[in-house]
Amino acid sequence: MIAKALAQGFKILCYVALAVLAGSLAMVIILESSGLCSAINEGFATCKTPALETFAYTAGMIPVLSSFTLFPLVFAIGGLIFLLRGLIKRIWRHRTS
């Protein structure tokens, strides 16, 4: 019972890490491709407004910190594995029904 709850909590933690990392990468791509920000680097963001610079800096630092500390990155990879495993199970169940 406790092990099942811990496993479910770990799965949720992995999904949250995947969502945060994917969301921050998507924000960086959207801000740069839309032309609102010309450059987003590890410690610097050049945008049209100061509010966008703060947002872009934060969104750009999440993947960098994840790669340095490795814990969020490992959890995000775990979330991706759980997601793919669930999709494969769902497809397999649909085909065998």
Residue 84 to residue 91: CA distance in whole angstroms: 10
How far is CA 79 from its chain centroid?
9
pLDDT at residue 75, rounded to an integer: 94
Q: pLDDT tens for residues 3-30? A: 999 999 999 999 999 999 999 999 989 9
List the helix and strand counts (H, then E) for the chain: 3, 2
The per-residue pLDDT for 94 is 79
Please check whether residue 67 is in contact with residue 73, taking contact to mean a CB–CB distance below 8 angstroms.
Answer: yes
Share above pLDDT 70 across residues of the chain, in percent, rounded to a whole number: 98
Instruction: Give the H/E segment covering residue 46.
Output: strand 45-47
